[in-house]
A and B are shown apart, each in its own frame.
Chain A
């Protein structure tokens, strides 16, 4: 089963996305900040990461860099909001494979994921 790590500081967002994904047969794990995400990535080696950008402790961009440093083939999709253009660009340059803008619909997330995990 495809394992997906959801990283967002808002519990509501994590729950919302988890529900979307587990309904589609994905195995979902969650982290509430970047630092925790890096740790969980190492412990669980998920197939894909959905990564929020603005978070306490460690932001998504920094976490992305750590994860890519640990695993150069890591597949990370950034979850972004309006007004974060330059961060998104930086994320893509740092190896993020895609980004999705909040608020997002079910289909958009699933499509982005399916593109990356065959």
Chain B
């Protein structure tokens, strides 16, 4: 079935983006509400999200989406007003509604009916709300239409002649359309309009009844003659949803009226929410000066004849609930508070003004900008080199000095430009993190586990290209932690741990890199099991297994084909995937480390560059070829004499602070004819990958350079040990080394 919605192409992106924002907020806050049950701010925000979604769905004529949002809004309104209580079952239902809303939202683009069972959803909300003894709410939910006003014919209290026979009076009558959502408000408008023309008598319904907000279908009032009938008529006609307005002399021809319709419903009986406790009353209760009960007694009294004209404070003093002194100081206090909140609002306003100064731009444009900056950096590097050459050859030449200064300036400007562009491209990692509370909640419920997710550093910013790439690996790590890491409550209690597990997700900046950790207090990874499994699967030999330290054994989880979980669960599949996680992270020049303590938990640490487009590297040379080693991988550099190098089991090694460091000659790996072995000294770049360290032997160190990454494309294809290429300042191409691939290639582990 083809669905049609009232939305234009240019409205579509706004609708989609805005609804996604609200759905995301719902997801996130509903999960938080489960923990922070009475947080009024959260309740307000979540209610508003549902309310706004409903409004938007209505505007495009998406009736099913309106139904679901209406049910959700009603429930959230109940929570907000303390008529419902937060419990897991209700949150479950709300989250289910959010899932349904996502599908319903998709319908707007796809124009295809989704399989959301709207009736079942709304019905369950209704049952929930009704069973929670919140009659008012269920009423509200059951009726999207206005209930028919009860037509109660008033006893004949026709305006009695009260001595003003001489001045003829007029009767003003009007009907309010019965689909008006706030007919009382229309009646109020009518009343106000009539009042402008004289003293109103015999008004039906009474002002009190109108102010109770009970529905009104007929309005009637009397005015003494002498007013401008035409002007009143005009004034009344300005009021919407009002029809059949008549203004006629009271003793003139009777109006044609449907039987029983003269009187409007005046059943102000149902206590409307309208008369809410005053701010002062609430303040006194909150301060503990009076009890909620005393407040309602006073408010009750205020409604009676004797208390009608008294202020709440006066009443409370008279009733002996509070002394005048205390009342006075409470009032002063309240005023102070209100002032504060006003000035806070003003501060927020200022902040918002700033956000008004924002412009939106497309991601593609940002990418293009970044590419241009990349070109500029390459040229800047080239300029530096030319300048250096000129400086050494033509030192003292006036023109060369000027050129040199200009080049230095251009260099600084380029740096600043790069920084600014990078900053524009930065997004807080919260964009990825905010999906995880819901994920963890759902997963742990499926597995009957109890897990607290703690998130830190969600404001940490990184390049949007990195954000895109890190999402999947994180999801995988979190799934693994929930599935294999954290134990069931029973297992945890038996192990003397708190019943509830903790999953901690953090992000921070450190020396121009992003560090993300995923840490659980579960049962850790058993090195012995890994060893056995790796041998059984033929990934390593038994002899190799014996020589592997526990630490290095744990690193085997990143090999493909290794699974330690005994049973396959639908959550993390068959335990596969750590190899893919690592591959994904390495693809963006990041690293992943695992640290685990049996019985105590596991921590994964991911280190990422700030951006993918520009990589700080160490440039090295082997014969005539330049290589760029990403600085993230570099631990230190060494200069070795031939005597420092020994060979153990055909493996060249050196000693570094009393530890054996295996060496790898880049010339060997890439089959470059080099005279490295015969030289009288060597340069070694110590790189780390996982827990392993290795020395990469090169001919020369050329220095650090930020290089702009160019992918090979299909021209050259994949070269093992090389991730991509970069154009250097001197126009030469440098190959960016993929250290992990290199390690694989060299066979060193």
Check if A11 sits within 8 Å of B14, measured CB to CB.
yes
Q: Bits for A92-117, please: 1 = Cβ < 8 Å to B, else 0.
A: 11000011111100000001100110
Name the interface residues of A1-21: CB closer than 8 Å to any CB of B.
Answer: 9-13, 15-16
Check if A12 sits within 8 Å of B352, measured CB to CB.
no
Binding site secondary structure of chain B: helix
Check if A9 sits within 8 Å of B52, measured CB to CB.
yes
Residue from A85, A89, A102, A115 in contact with B59 in the complex, judged by beta carbons closer than 8 Å: A102
User: Which residues of A have CB within 8 Å of B61?
Assistant: 103
Check if A82 sits within 8 Å of B45, measured CB to CB.
no
User: Which residues of A have CB within 8 Å of B352?
Assistant: 32-33, 35-36, 57
Complex Cα spacing A88 to B140, Å = 16
Least Cβ–Cβ distance between B240 and chain A, in angstroms: 6
- For chain B, the bracket of interface size reads 35 or more
Check if B345 sits within 8 Å of A88, measured CB to CB.
no
Check if A35 sits within 8 Å of B349, measured CB to CB.
yes
Check if A36 sits within 8 Å of B52, measured CB to CB.
no
User: Which residues of A have CB within 8 Å of B162?
Assistant: none
Closest to B48 in A: A54
Q: Bits for B630-665, please: 1 = Cβ < 8 Å to A, else 0.
A: 000000000000000000000000000000000000
Least Cβ–Cβ distance between B554 and chain A, in angstroms: 48
Least Cβ–Cβ distance between B274 and chain A, in angstroms: 4
State whether the Cβ of A90 lies closer than 8 Å to any Cβ in chain B: yes
Complex Cα spacing A25 to B77, Å = 39
Residue from A9, A11, A102 in contact with B58 in the complex, judged by beta carbons closer than 8 Å: A102
Closest to A10 in B: B52
Check if A85 sits within 8 Å of B181, measured CB to CB.
yes
State whether the Cβ of B189 lies closer than 8 Å to any Cβ in chain A: yes
Check if A12 sits within 8 Å of B213, measured CB to CB.
no
Q: Given A12-B14, A35-B345, are A81 and B54 also a contact pair (CB < 8 Å)? A: yes
Check if A82 sits within 8 Å of B52, measured CB to CB.
no
Check if A57 sits within 8 Å of B188, measured CB to CB.
no
Check if B349 sits within 8 Å of A89, measured CB to CB.
no
Residue from B238, B240, B273, B345 in contact with A57 in the complex, judged by beta carbons closer than 8 Å: B345
Name the interface residues of B601-628: CB closer than 8 Å to any CB of A.
Answer: none
Least Cβ–Cβ distance between B359 and chain A, in angstroms: 15
Check if B59 sits within 8 Å of A16, measured CB to CB.
yes
Q: Given A58-B345, A102-B55, are A84 and B182 also a contact pair (CB < 8 Å)? A: yes
Q: Bits for A50-94, please: 1 = Cβ < 8 Å to B, else 0.
A: 000011111000000000000000000000111111101111110
Q: Bits for B326-359, please: 1 = Cβ < 8 Å to A, else 0.
A: 0000000000000000000110110011001000
Check if B59 sits within 8 Å of A99, measured CB to CB.
no
User: Which residues of A have CB within 8 Å of B70?
Assistant: 82
Name the interface residues of B254-284: CB closer than 8 Å to any CB of A.
Answer: 272-274
Least Cβ–Cβ distance between A100 and chain B, in angstroms: 8
Q: Bits for B176-197, please: 1 = Cβ < 8 Å to A, else 0.
A: 0000011011001100100000
User: Which residues of A have CB within 8 Å of B59?
Assistant: 12-13, 16, 102-103
Least Cβ–Cβ distance between B76 and chain A, in angstroms: 12
Least Cβ–Cβ distance between A28 and chain B, in angstroms: 15
Complex Cα spacing A93 to B212, Å = 12
State whether the Cβ of B211 lies closer than 8 Å to any Cβ in chain A: yes
User: Which residues of A have CB within 8 Å of B349?
Assistant: 35-36, 39, 57
User: Which residues of B have CB within 8 Å of A85?
Assistant: 181-182, 184-185, 213
Least Cβ–Cβ distance between B338 and chain A, in angstroms: 12
Q: Bits for B42-64, please: 1 = Cβ < 8 Å to A, else 0.
A: 00010110011011101101000
Check if B272 sits within 8 Å of A86, measured CB to CB.
yes
Least Cβ–Cβ distance between A78 and chain B, in angstroms: 9
- What 7 A-B pairs are tightest by C-beta distance, nearest first? A103-B58, A88-B182, A86-B274, A89-B185, A85-B182, A92-B185, A88-B185
Binding site for B on A (CB under 8 A): 9-13, 15-16, 32-33, 35-36, 39, 54-58, 80-86, 88-93, 98-103, 111-112, 115-116
- With contacts A80-B182, A89-B185 known, what are 6 further pairs, Cβ within 8 A? A10-B56, A12-B15, A54-B52, A81-B55, A88-B181, A93-B211
